[in-house]
């Protein structure tokens, strides 16, 4: 397997296609150096606002083809991003209130749904999913997994003591423990190659619905604001705690449908690694943070609940379409 095949970020992606006036204005400001648009009230979960936020956040990651690096810190774009973040954050706080303590929130995460439950994407894919549905799922998740662990790394300079040491140790594993071929983002690119998907970073953004964009934007929102460091830790903990059982089911689904060894390996790796990470993140990252800054407990719980809220919205989108035998994407992956 060549380095060129494995490395998904050799080139910057092109700017995506707009989904409304707001995202068109943001893309136009980057593509043609036009003035940024004025934010307008609207649904904070809608595709238009989520795409606009996604584009503005991506300036802090890979950027876009033919967009100068210094646009990352353009004051007008930063002001617009702040104006778009506020209704999104307000809606999340209203829809996912921190109504319990961290221990109760973790207990809810650890409670596996019954075997007959039909409210789990991974269980659906394990039991009856087809290869085309697994390809759609991988395309949606590629917006995060091809930069896996990057948004969470922003919290490291904002932690200290036990929380910092444990967070850095987990991130070291996520980034391959010193081996480029074991970086989790690279393993996901291998998974995509086994599924005959394009492995280029950001390739499927035009296909991913707003519900999928929102799950990625949440990490950037929490990661870019020091004031939301507790929420980012809550998000990270949610991912690590829920990963092993879901990853096991997805690995089973990939084997059952004949996806290929590299596809299953990505999730096999997460079953093993995240089973260890789950203990470390609860006891040392969250425990260390709350021992040092107990006032952040509501923020940690908010991060857990907001993550669950947006994952539930994405689950509803995916399963609602798949059970009707239709694509859950804005464009089928075969059309790209």
Mean pLDDT in consecutive groups of 10 residues from the start of the chain, 336 residues: 60 96 96 88 95 98 96 96 97 92 90 69 96 97 96 97 96 94 94 95 97 98 98 96 92 95 92 80 95 97 97 97 97 75
Question: Two tokens at 135?
Answer: 């390809």
| Domain 98-335 = CATH 2.60.40.10 | no
Q: Which residues, 6 or more positions from 180, have their beta carbon under 8 angstroms from its beta carbon?
A: 186
Calculate the CA dihedral of residues 128, 134, 137, 138 and round it to 10 degrees: 150
Nearest to residue 46, comparing CAs of 26, 19, 86, 79? 19
Q: Say if pTM beats, i.e. exceeds, 0.85.
A: yes
User: HSE (CB half, 13 Å, CA atoms) of 174?
Assistant: 21
Phi and psi torsions of 96, nearest 5° = -135, 60
Phi and psi torsions of 93, nearest 5° = -65, -35
| pLDDT for residue 272 | 77
Contact 6, 189 (CB under 8 A): yes
| pLDDT for residue 3 | 43
Contact 265, 190 (CB under 8 A): yes
The packing angle between helices 229-256 and 102-110, to 10°, is: 0
What is the distance between the alpha carbons of residues 46 and 66, in angstroms, rounded to a whole number? 27
| pLDDT for residue 185 | 95
Q: Which residues, 6 or more positions from 30, have their beta carbon under 8 angstroms from its beta carbon?
A: 15, 55, 64, 67, 71
Residues 102-131 as b/e (b if ≥16 CB within 10 A, e otherwise) read beebbeebeeeeeeeeeebbbbbbbeebee
The ranges assigned to domains in the chain are 9-93, 98-335
How many residues are present in the chain? 336
| pLDDT for residue 336 | 55
| pLDDT for residue 1 | 41
């Amino acid at each position: 397997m060549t380095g060129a095949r494995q490395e998904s970020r050799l080139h910057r992606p092109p700017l995506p296609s707009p989904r409304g006036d707001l995202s068109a204005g943001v893309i136009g400001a980057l593509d043609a150096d036009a003035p940024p648009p004025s934010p307008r009230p609207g649904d904070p979960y809608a595709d238009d606002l989520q795409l606009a936020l996604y584009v503005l956040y991506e300036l802090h990651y890979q950027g876009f083809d033919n967009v100068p690096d210094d646009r990352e810190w353009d004051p007008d774009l930063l002001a617009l991003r702040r104006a778009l973040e506020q209704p999104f954050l307000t809606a999340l706080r209203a829809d996912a209130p921190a109504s319990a303590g961290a221990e109760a929130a973790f207990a809810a995460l650890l409670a596996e749904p019954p075997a007959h439950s039909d409210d789990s994407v991974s269980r659906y894919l394990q039991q009856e999913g087809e290869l085309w549905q697994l390809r759609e799922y991988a395309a949606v998740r590629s917006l995060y997994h091809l930069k896996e662990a990057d948004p969470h790394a922003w919290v490291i300079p904002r932690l200290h003591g036990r929380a910092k040491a444990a967070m850095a140790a987990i991130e070291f594993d996520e980034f391959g423990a010193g081996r480029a071929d074991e970086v989790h983002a690279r393993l996901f690119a291998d998974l995509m190659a086994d599924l005959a998907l394009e492995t280029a970073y950001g390739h499927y953004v035009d296909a991913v619905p707003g519900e999928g964009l929102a799950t990625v934007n949440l990490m950037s929102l929490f990661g870019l604001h020091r004031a939301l460091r507790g929420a980012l830790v809550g998000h990270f903990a949610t991912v690590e705690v829920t990963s092993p059982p879901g990853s096991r089911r997805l690995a089973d689904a990939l084997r059952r449908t004949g996806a290929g060894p590299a596809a299953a390996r990505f999730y096999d790796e997460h079953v093993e690694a995240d089973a260890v990470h789950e203990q470390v993140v609860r006891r040392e990252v969250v425990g260390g943070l709350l021992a040092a800054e107990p006032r952040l407990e509501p923020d940690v719980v908010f991060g857990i609940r907001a993550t669950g809220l947006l994952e539930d919205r994405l689950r509803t989108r995916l399963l609602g379409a798949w059970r009707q035998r239709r694509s859950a994407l804005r464009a089928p992956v075969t059309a790209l």
